[in-house]
Amino acid sequence: GHTGYLILGSFVFLAGLVDSMAGGGGLITLPAYIQFGLPLDILLGTNKLSSSLGTAVAAFKFLKELDFKKEFLFVLVFFAALGSFLGARAISMVPPHLLRYLLVVTLPPVVFFIISRHRFGLADRSGELGENTLLRRGGLISAGISFYDGMLGPGTGTFLAVALTRFCGYDLLKATALSKLLNLASNLSALATFLVIGTVDIRLGLGMGVVGMAGNYLGSHIALKKGAWVIRPMLFIVANALLIKLVWDMLR
């Protein structure tokens, strides 16, 4: 009924808000879609459609901040798309009823990782690494994390930002901006794969995508400094509440 859509919509909006600042929106949207009663076999595809729209808003906002070499971006985007395509193919071989178990096992460590991430990466030291090293490391990070994104996806943006800061020496702004672009490429690639396989509820995904875009837009505008402090506790509470609900439904 309408109530179900309203509840799902408010979770998706909240996820967009959280995701644009701290990453991890999928920790909220995936359990929310299950809660809404979306069949598991179209869960990931539909979630990819709505989150791609949301991520696009944040990516375009951040793209203005970027001064990366075009070739570098092209290579990383290519690897992100490839990894994600392979991940989406791999997960489509998994029987849908196992998805629930996968989520219950995967999501708690992801929640924990995002909450415990400290504000490192204040200085941009990427210049100290040669271009080839940056390409190699960046390519590996893009492909590996995007493979996970194609399979499940929650926390991808955060994993990317942290890995790019840690292994490529970017400051947090550059790493976050780059991670949004790669996240978008990865989302679109997985989405294309799911569309071809036919596992997307297009109407629901588009409707929730618009709601997610509104959340992302608002989140991008809230001061980032204040943002993280408000957001991590909120992400923690919402994600855990939904997880507990998932586990509870499985045990019943």
State the pLDDT confidence band at 236, using cuts at 50, 70 and 90: confident
Local structure of residue 65 (DSSP, 8 states): T
Determine contact, residues 194/88, Cβ cutoff 8 Å.
yes
pTM, entire model: 0.88
- Please state, in angstroms and rounded to a whole number, the distance separating the CA atoms of residues 108 and 166: 22
Q: How confident is the model at residue 195 (pLDDT cuts 50, 70, 90)?
A: very high
Handedness of CA 120, 124, 129, 135 (dihedral sign): positive
What's the rounded Cα separation, in Å, for the pair 232 and 185?
Answer: 25
What tokens appear for 40 in the block? 């598991």
| DSSP sequence for 184-239 | HHHHHHHHHHHHHHT---HHHHHHHHHHHHHHHHHHHHS-HHHHHHHHHHHHHHHH
pLDDT at 203: 97
pLDDT, one tens digit per residue, over 108-134 is: 888 778 767 655 666 788 889 989 999
C-beta atoms surrounding 167 within 10 Å: 17
How many CA atoms within 13 Å lie on the side-chain side of 172? 13
pLDDT tens figures, 81-95: 999 999 999 999 999
pLDDT at 230 over 90: no
Give tens-digit pLDDT for 14-61: 999 888 877 788 989 999 999 899 999 999 999 999 999 999 988 887
